[in-house]
């Protein structure tokens, strides 16, 4: 166990649990698995059914039984009362120091509510936000937040998201001065609701002013104009799902186009290497795993419909967050910027 990264997994969250969790671990490359150990929380009987198929996974994991779990329909208030749920026990292990990160494909609202109650937010942060790196046209990644943790956000929430998004991108991508923008219905100054306009003004008056680009529109997200794009959870989740839907549509069109004649099939064989490389770049399964930034600990949300491929990638993304000491970097960035004083000055 020494020198291994220990990750707690909610094995009962998501559409394909617990199979996608165990199969996801098994799908990892051997050299990655050698550095990991997993704490598996959930129904022992159901989990062991899959572990019996994958002895290699069984050797790098330990099962903690609970038959209590949170459904996709459970409200956060109910989730908070389920103290023995698989999500709660996994987060408790992070709080106690038994694990270095938590991953769940379960109910987003429940995950955020329980994580916020148990781990607490970083001083100066009101709400955690879901952040994820998505590919862009420039060959690097754009960080998008919030992607669904907070449906309604005020200007202070958006301002705090920008601070955390910038710190996250610095650590995750080794970028000293990430460019920040707010997602809006237009790039003009007069457009947007009051929360967006006020957040923009706050950023112009903050220590991030030199890195703040202003507004970007939905079709700018993947252009790479900004390294960090800030929005509320409702808009961010819709944007992410639209991007994922577009990538699936593109893949379907390509498949149909290359299978409607013998010539097109030959063309696919000739171009298959480049096509497969392009498909992998935009495949949402390759980019699974959004971090709840703003908490005292690394909590990662996987897609609810994750399969073994996407859950394996959520694990790999989580490992990178741990190795990059992402939370330490976020806390350090907030403290070094005199964040709370800056907030008070802006409010005054």
Q: Please give the pLDDT value at position 227.
A: 95
Q: Please give the pLDDT value at position 341.
A: 55
Q: Please give the pLDDT value at position 192.
A: 81
Regions of the chain with pLDDT less than 70: 1-2, 247-287, 336-348
pTM for the complete prediction? 0.85
Q: Please give the pLDDT value at position 270.
A: 56
286 — phi, psi (to 5°)?
-75, -15
Residue spans of alpha helices (H) in the chain: 19-27, 30-33, 44-51, 55-58, 76-81, 86-96, 108-119, 155-173, 194-204, 233-257, 262-282, 308-323, 326-336, 339-347
- Domains of the chain as residue ranges with CATH: 5-119 (3.40.718.10), 129-284+333-347 (3.40.718.10)
Residues 6+ away with beta carbon under 8 Å from 66: 41, 42, 43, 84, 85, 86, 89
Q: Please give the pLDDT value at position 140.
A: 81
């Amino acid at each position: 166990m020494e020198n291994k990264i220990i990750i707690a997994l909610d094995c009962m969250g998501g559409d394909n649990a617990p199979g996608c969790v165990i199969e996801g671990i098994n799908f990892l490359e051997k050299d990655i698995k050698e550095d990991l150990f997993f704490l598996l929380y959930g129904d022992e009987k159901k989990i062991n059914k899959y572990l019996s198929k994958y002895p290699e996974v069984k050797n790098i994991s330990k099962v903690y039984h609970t038959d209590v779990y949170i459904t996709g329909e459970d409200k956060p208030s109910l989730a908070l009362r389920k103290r023995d749920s698989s999500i709660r026990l996994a987060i408790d292990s992070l709080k106690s120091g038994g694990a270095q990160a938590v991953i769940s494909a379960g109910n987003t609202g429940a995950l955020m509510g329980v994580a916020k109650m148990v781990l607490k937010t970083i001083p100066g942060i009101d709400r955690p936000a879901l952040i994820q790196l998505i590919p862009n046209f420039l060959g690097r990644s754009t960080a998008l937040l919030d992607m669904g943790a907070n449906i309604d956000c005020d200007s202070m929430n958006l301002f705090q998201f920008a601070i955390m998004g910038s710190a996250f991108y610095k650590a995750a991508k080794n970028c000293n001065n990430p460019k920040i923008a707010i997602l809006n219905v237009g790039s003009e100054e007069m457009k947007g609701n009051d929360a967006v306009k006020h957040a923009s003004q706050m950023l112009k008056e903050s220590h991030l002013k030199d890195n703040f680009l202003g507004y970007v529109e939905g079709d700018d997200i993947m252009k790479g104009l900004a390294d960090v794009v800030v929005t509320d959870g409702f808009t961010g989740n819709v944007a992410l799902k639209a991007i994922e839907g577009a990538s699936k549509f593109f893949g379907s069109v390509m498949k149909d186009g290359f299978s409607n004649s013998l010539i097109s099939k030959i063309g696919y064989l000739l171009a298959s290497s480049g096509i497969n490389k392009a498909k992998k770049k935009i495949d949402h399964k390759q980019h699974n795993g959004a971090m709840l930034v703003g908490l005292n600990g690394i909590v990662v949300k996987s897609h609810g419909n994750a399969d073994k491929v996407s859950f394996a990638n959520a694990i790999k993304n989580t490992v990178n967050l741990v190795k990059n000491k992402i939370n330490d970097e976020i806390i350090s960035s907030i403290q070094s910027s005199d964040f709370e004083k800056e907030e008070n000055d802006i409010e005054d």
